[in-house]
Amino acid sequence: MPIRPLLIAPLAALLSLGGCGLVPQHEASPQPVSQQAFANRMDRLETELTARCDANLQALATHREEQLGLRADVREVGYLLRNVRGELESIRDESRHEPASRDCPVADERLDNKTLVGRSEWIGLPQVGTYLEARIDSGAQTSSLSATEITPFERDGEDWVRFKLGLNDEDTVVESMRDQWIEAPVERRVKIVQANGEASRPVIRQLVTLGPLRESVEFTLNDRTHLDYPVLLGRRFLMDITIVDVARRHIYARPEYASSSATEADDTTETPDAAPSP
């Protein structure tokens, strides 16, 4: 049967389109990367990796500081709890021995049990083996000991500190202890706000003798060589056991130690009244 002429044109068009669809399409070849472009890209990657590493290191350092702060706070809370527990025990003991009746107010009776001290006194540090002159300051909460070359270290899993007494040439001290290293466990750390930011200072505990008093005292370690006294005794030491007479100084004799020289000047007597030193 002959093909009608009217069907030839559409059939030819379909074959033409079908043939075009069977021809494989070739993708364009990627352009080669120049050495300079490759180097620039590697530099960008290196910069990004360095920035990420620096950010991670900064985050780790911040986390470490937060851990140290939390650890100091926990120790501070523990210290306060121990003090509260001790005060409760003292109250129980007092109530247990309290007489049935009182002729005088409680405050008047407690005055007889307090020790009179002047505005500055000689103290002894038996664990260190020396005496030092201390300023009595009821305005300061924590006592302070002048120290230099403060070096923290770890012993048996606990925080310790190594230091030397921070002294001036005019400070009176057992000479053999002037440049000796002293080691003590760190009780806690305190944050001090300064003009250039916050600073963390270690707190140690030392036995202190002052006249008839013999007490374990917490000292903040910091350099006091620019001040008049290498030791400051604050409220935590003074509270409940002393009365301060700011018109007097050196009420009690200076303690002596076996290593102290017998030829040292005797400053053990009470000195004449003078204007208070800063």
Q: Is residue 33 part of a domain?
A: no
Q: Taking a C-beta distance cutoff of 8 angstroms, is the pair 75, 187 a contact?
A: yes
Q: Is residue 275 part of a domain?
A: no
- Say what the pTM is: 0.55
Q: 158 and 73 in one domain? A: no
Q: Is residue 188 part of a domain?
A: yes
> Which CATH number do you get for residue 231?
2.40.70.10
Say how far apart CA 55 and CA 60 lie, in whole Å: 9
Q: Is residue 143 part of a domain?
A: yes
Q: 225 and 119 in one domain? A: yes
Write out the chain's pLDDT in tens, 278 residues.
Answer: 555 555 555 555 555 555 544 555 555 666 777 888 888 888 888 899 888 888 888 888 888 878 877 777 777 777 677 777 767 766 765 555 444 444 443 333 345 689 999 999 999 999 999 999 999 999 899 999 999 999 999 999 999 999 999 999 999 999 999 999 999 999 999 988 777 777 889 999 999 999 999 999 999 999 999 999 999 999 999 988 999 999 999 999 999 886 544 434 444 455 545 444 44
Q: 151 and 82 in one domain? A: no
Q: Taking a C-beta distance cutoff of 8 angstroms, is the pair 131, 174 a contact?
A: yes
Q: Return the biggest CA–CA distance within the chain.
A: 147
Q: Is residue 251 part of a domain?
A: no
Q: Is residue 173 part of a domain?
A: yes
- For 180, the domain range is 113-245
Split into its structural domains, the chain has a count of 2
